[in-house]
Chains A and B, each alone.
Chain A
Amino acid sequence: MNLITTPHLSAPDDFYEALIAAHHDLSVAQSHALNARLVLLLANHIGTQAVLQQALDAARDTNDASNSRVSL
């Protein structure tokens, strides 16, 4: 199984709104902690190490791309 990177969210706008709402009223530190818990919960749901590694790589690579844009 591969990491799904094509559109897969059943309700993208609803999810995004809920994600932002979950952080409502939190300090930056509390938000970081929430994100960390969220990552762990979602990782457990996915379960498969190979897929998780693909997700880690994809997230890391995207960050590198944005860094290189900044450096331009």
Chain B
Amino acid sequence: MPAEVDFQRLRFEYARSPDQDAPAPARHPVVVVGAGPVGLTLAIDLAQRQVPVVLLDNDNTLSTGSRAICFAKRTLEIFDRLGCGDAMVAKGVSWNVGRVFFRDAQLYSFDLLAESSHERPAFINLQQYYVEGYLAQRAAQLPLIDLRWSNKVVGVAQHADHALLTVETPDGRYELVADHVVACDGSRSSVRELIGQKAKGRVFRDRFLIADVKMTLDQPAERWFWFDPSFHPNQSVLLHMQPDGVWRIDFQLGWEADPEVEKRPENIIPRVKALLAHSATMKDAPFELEWASVYTFACQRMERFRHGRVLFSGDAAHGVSPFGARGANSGVQDADNLGWKLALVLQGIATDALLDTYADEREYAADENIKHSTRATDFITPKSEISRLFRDAVLDLARVYPFARTLVNSGRRSVPATLHDSTLNTPDSADFDGPMCPGAAAADAPLTLADGREGWLLRELSDGFSALVFGSDASLHGAAPHGVPLKVLHIGPCGDKPAPGQLIDHDGVIAERYDLLPGSVVLLRPDQHVCARWRQPSTEAVRHAMRRALAMH
């Protein structure tokens, strides 16, 4: 095994691009601004779809500090499609159990593993610099990605059929023309500012201290959350395990706290010691402070994620509180939604209208994420006396009554938005049960491959459209509009003798999750969202649904 890269210390050399010496600004189909988790995801996805990408980053390092640490199943599935999920899951800490404490007593624990038969766990914890590092390594394998470090966008001019960017480098400024610009440059997005837009919403009057602490604890990989513990009264505390023996501790401080004072090690260390001292198993554990940060947050978004030739993804477009792990996860899901659409538009297969659906769908998803994270924040940080009264009443009841545990909200599990109202969906024309309705992100399931090996459904999907054809030999030949890739997966019910090339639903999980009967067909978009399903469709119906999913109607 090769020695591990120290991603935190990695510096990327600025290299002069031939574009800087071009007599007129060079033109590129896509310029992505920001090589964080979202920009890297989008660049890799586009390059895998044969679209050349210029990726600009204003500095020459990966994430400073651990920052986003919880990566959800759906995000890992996207990373699998991009060819770097295995490295992340191998390095990350998989966890399923969470414990919730009120004052010093455990109220209850929960186990996310209840939902089994998925290749990926509910979450892994992994420092953001590892995620960015693995994505950067993958990007480096793709010659279509032109990643330019220390390239800062300082000007954006919009024109009818392109945007003109002014870029500042250690060698001075140059200009670039892009058919489309995607801003993935974070919550303080300079592209957003340069085009005169703002993200609007609620700013929360509270401060939190993140302390990453290196220590050897004889403690399982579990998420521990305290409401009002004696070692940190009237506030909340979160303890989470990361790889390399690093523990994330999140202390709520209140609005009055002075961030500069709280960031000092001499003030952080006593807080950590108090946490450790309260527990018999953690008491006196030696530790080292790795990284600390004091943050506030807002739940906000831009009104529109598309402004002409400039599209916005990730924190640049929307911000959420950290409770529920919806920041980086939703940003990666933005990129997943945009990649295939941009590629098909640039290849002349779909029209510009498809890009508007990116904005519509991801604005809807952002609202859902903002709603969940606002609710969690209001529970963790009650904003009024009566809100605190009910919060504490819920916690008191939760100790005894299971119903009250459903009301305890220390962050809801991050799941992808189901795009119920998307114009790309073909509404059901037959009765179906279950969550895999048009708009849902496809659920994984185990299967047997044609050669007899065990596999997973999502791994078998293509980068284009995929059709799950259950218990029938319908070929769907001619269903795909010209130039649009469609992979047809013939899936046999459990107990069936496999026909050549057929996959077998050996545990019946696919049929159950997708509510399939012999003859049923489910159509999946290139981002693995369901866009149509039928009991016995004609080829014409599938063709019509594909056109609809491409905004061609």
Contacts and interface: CB of A to CB of B under 8 A. Distances in A.
Q: Do A and B come from one complex?
A: yes
Interface of A: 32-33, 36-37, 39-41, 44
B98 to A, nearest CB: 22
What are the 9 tightest A-B residue pairs by CB atom distance, in nearest-first order? Answer: A36-B393, A44-B403, A37-B393, A36-B390, A36-B389, A37-B397, A32-B389, A40-B393, A40-B397
A7 B407 CA distance: 30
B394 interface: yes
B178 to A, nearest CB: 47
B42 to A, nearest CB: 38
Contacts of A41: 397, 401
A33 B390 CA distance: 8
A66 B113 CA distance: 51
A36 B396 CA distance: 10
B404 A33 contact: no
Given A40-B394, A40-B397, A41-B397, A33 B403 contact: no
A39 B392 CA distance: 13
Interface in B380-411: 389-390, 392-394, 396-397, 401, 403-404, 407
Contacts of A32: 389
14 contacts: A32-B389, A33-B392, A33-B393, A36-B389, A36-B390, A36-B393, A37-B396, A39-B390, A40-B390, A40-B394, A40-B397, A41-B401, A44-B401, A44-B403
Contacts, number: 25
B404 A40 contact: yes
Contacts of B389: 32-33, 36
Nearest to B389: A36
Contacts of A44: 401, 403-404
A42 B404 CA distance: 11
Q: Chain B interface secondary structure, helix, strand, loop or mixed?
A: helix
A2 B397 CA distance: 27
A40 B407 contact: yes
B371 to A, nearest CB: 15
Contacts of A39: 390, 393
Contacts of A33: 389, 392-393, 396
Contacts of B397: 37, 40-41
A33 B397 CA distance: 11
A59 B458 CA distance: 50
B324 to A, nearest CB: 21
Nearest to A47: B403
A33 B395 CA distance: 11
Contacts of A36: 389-390, 392-393
Nearest to A34: B393
Contacts of A37: 393, 396-397
Nearest to B403: A44
Interface string B352-396: 000000000000000000000000000000000000011011101
A46 B199 CA distance: 40
Contacts of B392: 33, 36
A37 B399 CA distance: 12
A70 B2 CA distance: 78
Given A33-B389, A33-B393, A40-B404, 15 more contacts: A32-B389, A33-B392, A36-B389, A36-B392, A36-B393, A37-B396, A37-B397, A39-B390, A40-B390, A40-B393, A40-B397, A40-B407, A41-B401, A44-B401, A44-B404
A44 B406 CA distance: 10
A41 B398 CA distance: 11
A44 B394 CA distance: 12
Contacts of B390: 36, 39-40
A39 to B, nearest CB: 8
A44 B401 CA distance: 11
A67 B495 CA distance: 69
Scoring B393, B401, B404 by chain A CB atoms within 10 A of each residue's CB, the highest score goes to B393
A37 B400 CA distance: 12
Contacts of B394: 40
Nearest to B407: A40
A36 B389 CA distance: 7
Nearest to A32: B389
A48 to B, nearest CB: 14
Nearest to B398: A40
B108 to A, nearest CB: 16
B311 to A, nearest CB: 36
B28 to A, nearest CB: 51
